[in-house]
Amino acid sequence: MTEPNSHPLLPEQNREPEFAAYVAIDWADKKHYWSLRLAGSKKIERGELDNTPEAVEAWVTELSARLEQRPLAVALEQRRGALVAMLSKYAPLHIYPVHPATLAKYREAWYPSGSKDDVKDADQLLEIVCQHRERLRRLDPDTTGMRLLQFRVEDRRQLVDQRTAISNRLTDLLKIYFPQILVWFPALDAPLVGELLKRWPSLQDLQKARPAAVEKFLRQHNYRHEEDIQQRIEQIRQAIPATDDEALLDSAQFKTRIYVQQMAVLRTAISELEKKIAELASRQADYAIFESLPGAGKALAPRLMAGIGSRRERFESAGELQCYAGIAPVKEASGNSQWVHIRWACSKFLRQSFHEWAACSIPQCAWAKDYYSRQRAKNKSHHTAVRALAFKWMRILYRCWKDRQPYREEVHLANLAKRAVNLSSLAKSVQMP
Residue 14's pLDDT is 56
Q: Residue 136: phi, psi to the nearest 5?
A: -100, 150
pLDDT in tens, 192-203: 999 999 999 999
pLDDT in tens, 63-112: 999 999 999 999 998 888 888 888 988 989 999 999 888 888 888 888 88
Residues 6 or more apart whose CB falls under 8 angstroms from that of 247 comprise: none
**Mean pLDDT, range 10-27, rounded to an integer:** 78
Higher pLDDT residue, 107 or 162? Answer: 162
Q: Residue 96: phi, psi to the nearest 5?
A: -120, 100
Domain ranges (residues) in the chain:
12-140, 148-280, 287-429
Residue 135's pLDDT is 87
**Residues 207, 356: Cα–Cα separation, whole Å:** 42
Examine the pLDDT at 206 and tell me if it is beyond 90. Answer: yes
Amino acid at 110: W
Q: What is the DSSP letter of 210?
A: -
Residue 212's pLDDT is 93
Reduced to 3 states (helix: H, G, I; strand: E, B; else coil), residue 418 is: helix
Beta bridge partners of residue 21, listed in sequence order: 38, 72
Higher pLDDT residue, 3 or 256? Answer: 256
pLDDT in tens, 38-65: 999 999 999 999 989 999 999 999 999 9
**Looking at the domain covering 12-140, what would its CATH class be?**
alpha beta
Residues 6 or more apart whose CB falls under 8 angstroms from that of 20 comprise: 38, 39, 67, 68, 70, 71, 72
**Mean pLDDT, range 218-247, rounded to an integer:** 90
Say how far residue 336 (Cα) sits from the centre of its chain: 36
**CATH fold label, 148-280:** Helix Hairpins (1.10.287)
**How sure is the predictor about 413, in pLDDT bands with cuts at 50, 70 and 90?**
confident
Reduced to 3 states (helix: H, G, I; strand: E, B; else coil), residue 366 is: helix
**Residues 374, 274: Cα–Cα separation, whole Å:** 36
**Mean pLDDT, range 200-210, rounded to an integer:** 95
pLDDT in tens, 296-312: 999 999 999 999 999 99
Residues 6 or more apart whose CB falls under 8 angstroms from that of 229 comprise: 215, 218, 219, 223
CB 95 within 8 A of CB 88: yes
Higher pLDDT residue, 99 or 4? Answer: 99
Higher pLDDT residue, 336 or 167? Answer: 167
**Mean pLDDT, range 126-155, rounded to an integer:** 91
pLDDT in tens, 340-374: 888 877 888 899 999 999 999 999 998 999 999 99
Average per-residue pLDDT in the chain? 88
**How sure is the predictor about 276, in pLDDT bands with cuts at 50, 70 and 90?**
very high
Confidence (pTM)? 0.80
Residue 433's pLDDT is 36
Beta bridge partners of residue 45, listed in sequence order: 36
**Residues 219, 214: Cα–Cα separation, whole Å:** 9
Which helix (H) or strand (E) segment holds residue 337: the answer is strand 337-341
Examine the pLDDT at 431 and tell me if it is beyond 50. Answer: no
What percentage of residues in the chain have a pLDDT greater than 70? 94
